[in-house]
A and B are shown apart, each in its own frame.
Chain A
Amino acid sequence: MAVDYKDYYEALGVARGASQDEIRRAYRRLAREYHPDLNSDADAEERFKEVGEAYEVLSDPDKRERYDRLGAQWQARQDAPGGGDFEDFFARQDFGGATTAEFGDGAFSDFFERVFGAGAAPASGPLRGRDREALLELSLEDALAGGRRRLTLDDGRSVDVNFPAEVREGQRIRLAGQGAPGRDGGPPGDLYLLVRLKPDPRFRRQGDDLVVDVRVAPWEAALGATVPVSTLGGDAQVRVPAGSSSGRRLRLRGRGLPRRDGQRGDLYAVVQITVPKQPSDEERELFEKLAAASSFDPRGTRR
């Protein structure tokens, strides 16, 4: 396993000759800034760990002295031609650190454990890890049917999640134990998935109801017709009653989105009367006949 050298002074942003007081001040400021419970940036957790590890070494005179000695030799080695990696360099030194290549999954880095030994990290007592949150973006179909999804979390980890059928916009799904790992053997936190429904080109969402346009010819609107309409479960037939004008809402009960009460919302098919852009001669003739024969006044201006 390749172990990289860590610059603890750089992590705390202090000079190599910094006093204990300066180191403490720098640590406290950075700990507040990057604490993962206070800072939700993706890299905050990593930075916080780095800062804590750097403080653990630099605030302890013994550890600091050992680290400085190692650093000086590592630097000399880097400046010499033919460099080599840290692991190779470290293996030839005698710092009395970890002699085995077994690294724990401790709070501190492999570098720390290599130099100071696996048991050198201070035990703080068991504590549950942080809860995490991730966005679960679903198509309307998936939200209805449930399924499986691979999510990439902030920390780069990917998790396979099974989400149940009939989830709603804004719903939080809890995945127990999938949050941040606990400390010192404490239980891990939970992962919450926040459901967002992706916009659908076919439907408009109105709460738990869906709205879809259904285009009909003028004679279908006037005489009535049964026409196909898109629904979440595939095409369905909707009966357009005779005498339907544009904007009439035809309800398909229970074809909407899942509701909080366990029922489903409705699907509204909105009538849109559509005319031929370039009527044939015959169509034009028939429309003209209709215009002459009809006394219908859609604007109600005739007294």
Chain B
Amino acid sequence: MSGRRTPRARDAAAVEQPIELGVLARQAGLRITLVRQYVAFGLVEPCGGTSRAPLFEAGSAARVAKAERLRRDLGLNYAGAVLVCELLDRIRELERNG
């Protein structure tokens, strides 16, 4: 066998660094104030940083964008959009374990 070195893949979540609120907002295409709303409703929770400069998991932008799509498209309020996202998570979990 050759001793050739190839780049190794890691599981996506393992490599990605936590992100700041501003980065989260930019990745989601939203204003920071709107993202703060979703943080206040507990859709995404800080995974580190400080209370003034919290850090969020790398996948948070996709989650916030999903809630915002649902809110705009279905005429929901923030609490409703957050609830739908949480129920979707639970369905996914049940389907995975079922």
Task: Report if A and B associate in a common complex.
Answer: yes
- Number of A-B residue pairs, CB cutoff 8 Å, is 85
Measured CA separation A130–B72 after assembly (Å): 14
B1 to chain A: which residues have CB within 8 Å?
A: 233
Q: Does B30 make an interface contact (CB < 8 A)?
A: yes
Q: Does B53 make an interface contact (CB < 8 A)?
A: no
A171 to chain B: which residues have CB within 8 Å?
A: 9, 11
Q: Cβ of A128 and Cβ of B65 under 8 Å apart?
A: yes
Chain A 171-203: CB-based contact to B (< 8 A → 1; otherwise 0):
111100000001111110110100000000000
Task: For A165, give its contact among B9, B27, B65 (CB under 8 Å).
Answer: B9
B27 to chain A: which residues have CB within 8 Å?
A: 128, 187
B73 to chain A: which residues have CB within 8 Å?
A: 31, 35, 48, 52
Measured CA separation A37–B30 after assembly (Å): 18
A192 to chain B: which residues have CB within 8 Å?
A: 12
Q: Does B69 make an interface contact (CB < 8 A)?
A: yes
- State the main secondary structure of chain A at its contact with B: loop
Q: How far is the CB of B62 from chain A (nearest CB, A)?
A: 5
Q: Which of A268-284 contact B (CB under 8 A)?
A: none
Q: Cβ of A173 and Cβ of B12 under 8 Å apart?
A: yes
A174 to chain B: which residues have CB within 8 Å?
A: 12
Q: Cβ of A146 and Cβ of B6 under 8 Å apart?
A: yes
Measured CA separation A32–B68 after assembly (Å): 14
Q: Does A137 make an interface contact (CB < 8 A)?
A: no
Q: Cβ of B7 and Cβ of A164 under 8 Å apart?
A: yes
Q: Does A166 make an interface contact (CB < 8 A)?
A: yes
Q: Does B42 make an interface contact (CB < 8 A)?
A: no
Q: How far is the CB of B45 from chain A (nearest CB, A)?
A: 19
Q: Does B88 make an interface contact (CB < 8 A)?
A: yes
How many chain B residues sit at the interface, stated as a range, is: 20 to 34
Q: Cβ of A130 and Cβ of B6 under 8 Å apart?
A: no
Given A127-B29, A128-B27, also A173-B70 (CB < 8 A): no
Q: Does A115 make an interface contact (CB < 8 A)?
A: no
Q: Cβ of A28 and Cβ of B75 under 8 Å apart?
A: yes
Task: For B8, give its contact among A35, A37, A127, A165 (CB under 8 Å).
Answer: A165
Q: Cβ of B9 and Cβ of A164 under 8 Å apart?
A: yes
Q: Which of A127-158 contact B (CB under 8 A)?
A: 127-131, 145-146
Chain B 50-72: CB-based contact to A (< 8 A → 1; otherwise 0):
00000000000110011011101
Q: Cβ of A131 and Cβ of B62 under 8 Å apart?
A: yes
B28 to chain A: which residues have CB within 8 Å?
A: 127-128, 186-187
Given A28-B75, A182-B29, also A35-B12 (CB < 8 A): no
Task: For A127, give its contact among B69, B74, B75 (CB under 8 Å).
Answer: B69
Max chain A CB contacts within 10 Å: which of B27, B73, B74, B84? B73
Measured CA separation A125–B72 after assembly (Å): 10
Q: Does A126 make an interface contact (CB < 8 A)?
A: yes
What 9 pairs between A and B have smallest CB-CB spacing? A186-B29, A165-B6, A128-B65, A164-B9, A126-B29, A174-B12, A128-B29, A233-B1, A128-B28
Q: List 25 A-B contacts (CB under 8 A).
A: A28-B75, A32-B74, A37-B70, A37-B88, A38-B88, A48-B73, A125-B30, A126-B30, A127-B28, A128-B29, A128-B61, A145-B6, A146-B6, A146-B9, A163-B9, A165-B6, A171-B11, A173-B9, A184-B29, A185-B29, A187-B26, A187-B29, A192-B12, A233-B1, A260-B11
- By a beta-carbon cutoff of 8 Å, the part of chain B in contact with chain A is 1, 6-9, 11-12, 26-30, 61-62, 65-66, 68-70, 72-75, 84, 88
Known: A127-B30, A258-B8. 8 other contacts (CB 8 A): A31-B73, A32-B74, A35-B73, A128-B30, A166-B9, A171-B11, A173-B12, A260-B11
